[in-house]
């Protein structure tokens, strides 16, 4: 999902803008702020590269990028505990690095050898739904879509008239 937003062209444009900001920063507060923005941007750029490498099945490159993300997270977390993530057992970059490294050793199936999960079957013909307007749902089996309801014994003999309501309905 992130790669659809942060395309390579956008990342290149953001990198150029950040480079201009680094050149224009004058005070120590400005340089510190821009340096922090650079660290967060580098993490984002590497994460987008990691996702692209996984999508292209380049798992060795993805494992290297994931290990780099782990290092970047630790660096950001040293600046502030609110930056970077605390270590988490699953879905962290260190876990992703191990997963990608193990995926590199597994054989990749050829597309021609894959078989469909479900065989193609013709769709069933739609069942015609008929209702008994004079007795809609008041007796068992009155709403069954079984074709012609007029063939059912007693069909059409029961007339239900709605009772007019007078005043509020008691709870």
* Residue whose tokens read 């059912």: 152
Q: What is the pLDDT of residues 52-61, one digit of tens each?
A: 988 888 888 8
Task: Please tell me the distance from the alpha carbon of residue 68 to that of residue 94, in angstroms, as a whole number.
Answer: 9
- pLDDT of 100: 74
pLDDT at 170: 58
pLDDT the model gives residue 71? 86
Q: Which residues of the chain have pLDDT under 70?
A: 84-91, 104-124, 126-171
Q: How far apart are CA 10 and CA 18, in angstroms?
A: 12
Residue 134 is given by DSSP the state: G
What distance in Å separates the CA atoms of residue 42 and residue 79, rounded to the nearest whole number? Answer: 15
């Amino acid at each position: 999902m992130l790669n659809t937003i942060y395309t390579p062209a956008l990342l290149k444009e953001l990198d150029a803008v950040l480079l201009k900001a680094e050149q224009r920063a004058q005070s120590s507060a400005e340089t510190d702020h821009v340096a922090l923005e650079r660290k967060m941007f580098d993490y984002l750029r590497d994460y987008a590269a990691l996702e692209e490498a996984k999508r292209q099945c380049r798992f060795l490159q993805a494992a290297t990028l994931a290990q780099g993300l782990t290092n970047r997270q630790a660096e950001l977390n040293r600046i502030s505990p609110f930056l970077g993530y605390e270590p988490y057992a699953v879905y962290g970059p260190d876990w992703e690095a191990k997963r990608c490294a193990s995926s590199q050793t597994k054989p990749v199936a050829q597309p021609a050898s894959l078989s469909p999960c479900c065989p193609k079957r013709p769709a069933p013909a739609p069942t015609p739904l008929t209702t008994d307007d004079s007795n809609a749902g008041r007796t068992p089996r009155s709403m069954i879509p079984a074709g012609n309801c007029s063939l059912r014994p007693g069909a059409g003999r029961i007339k239900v008239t709605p009772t007019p309501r007078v005043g509020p309905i008691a709870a």
